[in-house]
Homo-oligomer: A and B are copies of this chain.
């Protein structure tokens, strides 16, 4: 029972649900997710940890980046997402997130985060 409660808890946060829907487009690094959600890297990292512990996502290192992707093989999660897919396809937030994902890359978003830190020069 706990397993299911944890999964519902994981899905019951707006930012985490957005992350999962974003990962349906393509695998993403932490700074890309941070860019789309517009929240701190450390916050993204903690959400990713929760999703990983729930078995919903997996990660692998690629150079200095950590790339996150949907875990796959979770039948229950697939059924949930399948049942809600039609709704999410039409969701304005999801559409907006996807549009941003298509514009960014792991190389670009990193430098953008730098700009912010050093004061907006651009």
Number of copies: 2
Does A65 have its Cβ within 8 Å of any Cβ on chain B? no
Stretch of A24-32, A36-44, A80-88, A104-112 contacting B (4+ beta carbons < 8 Å):
A80-88
A17 CB contacts on chain B under 8 angstroms? 1, 4-5, 8
A76 CB contacts on chain B under 8 angstroms? 83-84
Q: Complex Cα distance A32/B87, Å?
A: 36
- Overall SS of chain A's interface: helix
Q: Complex Cα distance A88/B5, Å?
A: 12
The answer to whether B8 touches A88 (Cβ under 8 A) is no
* Total interface residues in chain A, CB < 8 Å: 22
A5 CB contacts on chain B under 8 angstroms? 11-14, 17
Q: Can you name 16 A-B residue pairings with CB atoms under 8 Å?
A: A1-B17, A1-B88, A1-B94, A4-B11, A4-B17, A4-B84, A4-B88, A5-B12, A8-B8, A8-B9, A8-B11, A8-B17, A75-B83, A79-B79, A79-B80, A80-B80
